[in-house]
Structure 1
Amino acid sequence: MVSNIQDQEVMGAGDAAEVLPDGVPADGRYEDVDVAIVMESTYPYLKGGVSAVVHDTITGNPDLTFGIIHITWDHNCPRTDLYGMPGNVRWVKVVYLSMTDHPEFTATRPSDLRMNHRERLVLAHRLVDALQALAAGDGEPVWRLIAEGMAESTRRYPLWALLGSAEFMETYRDRMPTLGMSLSELFWCLRDFFSLAYAVLGQTMPRARVYHAHTTGYASLLAANAARENRGSFLLTEHNLYVRDTINTLLGRRMDKPVTVQDYRTFDVGGRERMWMAWWIEMGRLCYPKAYATTYLYPNAVVEARALGLEQETVRVIPNGIVINEFDDVYAKRQAATRALRAKGAGSHVWRLVYIARVVPIKGLLDLIESMRILRERGLRFHLDVCGPTEHMPEYYQRCVARIAELGLEDQITVRGTIDVRRHLDEWDLFLLPSYNEGLPVVSLETMGAGIPTVSTDVGALRLVVVDDITAADGSVLDPSGFIISPGDPALMADRVQQVVSDMDLFEHMSRSARARAEAAFNLIQVNAAYHELYLEGGVGRPAVSPSGNRRQAGEAPPLPRSGRARHRAPRRSPFAARGRALRDRLTFR
């Protein structure tokens, strides 16, 4: 059964024969699915922590069908499936943000509104009223304008055409702060906003019961609107604080710095930066209320999200997880190696250290290189493997390589690039993560499953994973599996590495604790069950209704209309459901 949605994408550069990205239907037809995963520039074309989590969620829910809505910049972005998507992924829909893929946006003129001067003036004031209402906490006027003037299936006029009208620019100048910007500067900034909104709102998405966005920003805007257009439900998962991270990147700040909903009003920044801050913050506030549930990886993320405008009560903490028995063999090897090391003594041992992350500034590899310099000066015998993609920011990768050479550390540091980490876990003694920004890294759990201690920075969920109290099944409270340090302190990283490897009792105890913590608190089967339960809550498995059924708003959980015979049966009695409810009850914040 396929829907009547057909892909009308421009294939770029006028080349109708361009090879489609992996997973995109060649005939442009998209089957109705249970869940549409909505993401920016990640799965299935880029490796990373979020992509790995999404892949685990899909493979862990084999009784559901999935589609992937992949938001990226343009046709030059990666398009090869790096994960081997499972059979329950029915399609990939690629959405391009660049206006080179949306020539109809730039071709539209104010005359296409088909309104006279007075009507354009009224619409301009409505738009300004809606923006002011959003800033005051009410997003509904903006959603009404999206329905009338942006969303393809309900659009009565091209709202973006208003931008080029004298009525709008004069109204905006008179009623909104200009922030010291000229009308020309305001126009081009507003044009950027309109074009990006059009890119994600201007075409009707394939139909799904649940649209599951994995960030705020464009993914949430698209998912919330797709749920409204297709009578589905919108579920939001924040692996990290997208708005915080985007604004910190914009301002060149450290990625662990907090951001609040008021900051675009109070920060000492230029007019253009202030407008972009408002864009990201208010887009989040627009989308948060439309989600029937919002999930986070750790409790502190909920606190930060509330400072960014999250208000609804249906918030749940669902951590990442691993299947612990998949690490039994490597854990046994690591324990045997530790026993042998204790027997012969650690004096002549070359400690095998590993960094596993993308080679990008926020992951802190340059800091770690300085830590290695310090350890060499102290006489420690070690070798560091750097594992992870090097192509995401080539200029930073080159800086790291140059610094290694400048310090003469080529014999102590090997950049291995992207490798199958699980196949090499038995090679490493200590996992080092100097990052400025994390959610809950799956690689931290994988190394813990293998019994590898860590020294990691105090970002995201890492304190919870490594040192906070975790209660085992027997009621005992598990000890830390490593050390947590402040980001940006190479000397402290070196101190903690030396502390772990200089004390075999501590090293062995942390190794056992790492395995126990992963087993007790980060069970992937329970995590997948919790998402399965959320999908059912959002409407998956409910009987289909005819297209004449009442239309509902995004954020609700209505049945989805279909043409022809309904694919969906009565709610499934999934083997995951009971476990999912139990985990939900344990982790839900009311």
Structure 2
Amino acid sequence: MSNDDNKNEKEYDVCLLLEGTYPFVSGGVSSWIHNLIKGMPDLTFTAVCILATSKEKAEYKYEVPDNFVDPKIIYLHDHVDIKQSMFNKISKKNMQKMTEFHKNIDLLDIDFMKEIVTLFREGKFPLSELIHGKKTWDLLIERYGPEVNKESFIDYFWTFRFTHLPIFKMLPLELPKAKVYHTISTGYAGLLGVIARITTGRPLLLTEHGIYVKERKIEISQAEWIYHKNDDRFRVDSKLGAIQTFWIRMFEQLGKICYDYSSEIYTLYEGNKQLEILEGADPAKIKIIPNGISLKNFLGLKPEDHDYKGQTEFAVGFVGRVVPIKDVKTFLRACKIVALKIDKLKVYIMGPTEEDEEYYEECLNLVKLLHLENIVEFTGKVKVADYLPILDVIVLTSISEAQPLVIMEANCAGVPAVASDVGSCRELLEGRTISDKALGPSGIVTKVADPVGTGEAILTILQKPVLRKKMSLAGIERVKTFYKESDLNKTYLKIYHKHMKMEDLE
């Protein structure tokens, strides 16, 4: 794109950089983005949306606001026809810089990263040479270390190819022109943010709901598509194979680079801030901004004067994608414990089932194994507000969360929650500040992957109407006082306005 083209290109107020979320994937983060855009109708938003492959249908899951326009889609793992050319080689000097980049990525300063991006965008690292070239092959062999490495070279080769090709494709991309770039994660979206910051000089903002590197570590530890001799593992441990470690190191490095280039970093609670610092973020850049929800959508769904005494029929809800990180299987096992004590029980699992069809099938088989076919219903994606009036308790059994919107929505509606002790779930249910804690608990926190503890917590709430009443009222007051969406939108509007006026790199 020429300089004249850049001058004539449409400029947006905010360019969002999104990986696997809005508007093509539903979920808590996507809903947060949707509500943020709707709450600022006077700003124009565009987005670069990263999806895995064009084989997946890119269909809107939301009715996007009028001020969200011209989103651009990048398919991370689409096949690229790479033609070799004997006339398009990487110079020895530039290959030395690529080698230095790989060896010293933890020590990179801003100027060196800027130089690498500039060389890519000037065509000094042609894709054909990076994939097929002799110099790249030599670098790969050097990084592999055949003298000491016990892992399969074939696995290492394809891991290198699969992890680096998306990065090589992204570095030369032209991004929409915007006053502010805002990435909602590190990883590949964060890399786009770094490119934007380098090429435009405009501010880069980062908001992390869940810590991207942490979540990728969990997924990589569990992944069956990454070779590991012992794949019967639930949690991240210290004995990962070299291939898994390769993946994790890459995401750690992308995260550190994004932290370095971000003008400011926002996260949801203190625990996240500490994780970001451990991953290399500058503490001075980090600000905590809790999520909020629209009160009008949830207040009054269950009358505050509702009498829970004498109730014999109960409904339990689970809201979330049916994927391993949400640990639906622990929830199902907990429901079996509840069903043994309560005769009239209905369980709703509310969320998309198509994201991991194999895991969904495993959950269906577990339902049959536990003889819960007449109790459990997978609803698919639904409007949660339509179900909250009939629910007695909401349950989250995730092994990783940030600040789950569903807990705030349930609290606002007067529905107590049971949640695993991840992210800010404890703060949401027991309070964050002294005045918040004084309101009393609005649910019960349990251990991760603990079906017995989860089942007992559900039973405690269902079988103690006075306690459930107190939790209901505490949740309503907590959200009204501390988690209003209007306050969140005002905060981000001030942030955008401040950074829209900045012309240069800090």
How far has the Cα of 1:534 moved from its partner?
A: 1.6
State the one-letter code of the partner of 1:408.
H
Q: Which blocks of at least 5 consecutive residues in structure 1 are unaligned?
A: 7-28, 260-266, 546-551, 557-590
Mapped pair 1:36 → 2:7: no
Instruction: Kindly provide the amino acid, as one letter, of the partner of residue 328 in structure 1.
Output: L
The answer to whether the 8 Å contact 2:222/2:235 transfers is no
Deviation of 1:40 after TM superposition, in Å, equals 1.0
Q: 1:249 aligns with which of 210, 219, 227?
A: 219
**Distance change in 2, residues 1:30/1:373 (3 Å):** farther
**TM-superposed deviation, 1:171:** 5.0
Residue 218 (structure 1) aligns with: 188
> Which stretch of the first structure deviates more once superposed, 55-64 or 154-163?
154-163
1:230 maps to what in 2? Answer: 200
| Aligned-residue offset at 1:37 | 0.8
Equivalent residue in structure 1 for 2:107, among 128, 136, 139: 136
Once residues 61 and 256 of structure 1 are traced to their aligned partners in structure 2, the CA distance between those partners, rounded to angstroms, is 41
Alignment of 1:188-337 (within 5 A): 188-252=158-222, 267-332=238-303, 335-336=304-305
For residues 345-377 of structure 1, the C-alpha deviation after alignment (integer angstroms, 9 at most, x for no partner) is: 23xx21111111111111121111111211222
Q: 1:510 to 1:256 in 2, by over 3 A?
A: farther
**Alignment partner, residue 427 of structure 2:** 464
Higher CA-based Rg: 1
Query: What secondary structure, in the 3-state scheme, does the structure 2 residue paired with 1:208 have?
Result: strand
What is the correspondence of 1:47-66 to structure 2 with a 5 Å cutoff?
Answer: 47-66=26-45
**Alpha-carbon distance, 1:99 to partner:** 4.1
The 3 A distance-change label for structure 1 pair 462 and 161 is: same
Deviates more, 1:242-251 or 1:172-181: 172-181
Q: CA–CA distance in 1 between the matches of 2:207 and 2:366?
A: 37
- The amino acid of 2:326's aligned partner reads K
- Report what 1:539 is aligned to: 500
What residue number does 1:71 align with? 50
TM-score by length of 1: 0.78
Cα pair 1:110 1:164 within 8 Å, conserved = no
Amino acid at match of 1:226: A
SS class of match (2:266): strand
Q: Which residue of the partner structure matches residue 324 of structure 2?
A: 361
Q: Could you tell me how far 1:46 is from its partner in structure 2?
A: 1.4
User: What amino acid sits opposite 1:73 in the alignment?
Assistant: A
Change (3 A) 1:79 1:182: closer
Cα distance in 2 between the residues matched to 1:168 and 1:80: 38
How is 1:489-500 mapped onto 2 (pairs within 5 angstroms)?
489-500=450-461
Q: Distance in 2 between matches of 1:410 and 1:272?
A: 40
Letter in 2 for 1:420: K
Query: 1:379 and 1:445, CA in 2 relative to 1: closer, same or farther beyond 3 A?
Result: closer
1:517 aligns with 2:478: yes
**Structural RMSD (CA):** 2.7
Amino acid at match of 1:74: T
* Distance of 2:16 and 2:111 partners within structure 1: 25
Q: Using a 3 Å threshold, how does the CA distance of structure 1 residues 482 and 171 change in structure 2: closer, same or farther? A: closer
CA distance in 2, matches of 1:476, 1:278: 39
Matched, 1:45 2:24: yes
Distance 2:202 2:218 in 1: 33
Residue by residue over 1:440-462, the C-alpha shift from the partner in whole angstroms, topping out at 9 and shown as x without a partner, is 11111111110110111111111
Task: Write out per-residue CA displacement over residues 498-529 of structure 1, whole angstroms, 9 at most, x where no aligned residue.
Answer: 11122111110000001011111111111111
The residue type equivalent to 1:479 in the other structure is G
Are residues 287 and 108 of structure 1, via their aligned partners in 2, closer, same or farther at CA, if it must alter by over 3 Å? farther
What amino acid maps onto 1:281 in structure 2?
E
Structure 2: how far apart are the matches of 1:445 and 1:256? 28
Counterparts of 1:381 and 1:184 in 2: how far apart (Å)? 55
Residue 381 (structure 2) aligned to one of 418, 426, 430: 418
- Distance change (3 Å), C-alpha of 1:505 and 1:5: farther
Q: What is the Cα deviation at residue 170 of structure 1?
A: 3.1
In 2, distance between residues paired with 1:193 and 1:141?
Answer: 21
Structure 2 length-normalised TM? 0.90
Shift of 1:81: 1.7
Residues 85-124 of structure 1: pairs in structure 2 closer than 5 A = 85-100=64-79, 102-103=80-81, 106-109=82-85, 111-113=87-89, 119-120=91-92, 122-124=93-95
Shift of 1:78: 2.9
Q: State the SS of the aligned residue for 1:35.
A: strand
In structure 2, distance between residues paired with 1:301 and 1:530: 19
The separation in 1 between residues aligned to 2:364 and 2:289, in whole angstroms, is 37
Between the aligned partners of 1:157 and 1:501, the Cα distance in structure 2 is 63
For structure 2, the 5+ residue unaligned runs are 224-231
Match of 2:186, SS state, is coil
- Which deviates the most, 241-250 or 304-313? 304-313
Equivalent pair of 1:39/1:70 in contact (CA under 8 Å): yes
Name the structure 2 match of 1:573: none
| Partner AA of 1:294 in structure 2 | I
TM-aligned CA deviation for residue 159 of structure 1 = 6.7
The 2-side partners of 1:358 and 1:406 are apart by 21
Find the residue that maps to 1:321 and give its secondary structure: coil
Q: Aligned equivalents of 1:505 and 1:298: distance in 2?
A: 31
CA–CA distance in 1 between the matches of 2:85 and 2:493? 46
Q: Is the 8 A contact 1:133 1:141 kept in 2?
A: no
1:165 pairs with 2:133:
yes
Q: Which amino acid in structure 2 is aligned with residue 350 of structure 1?
A: E
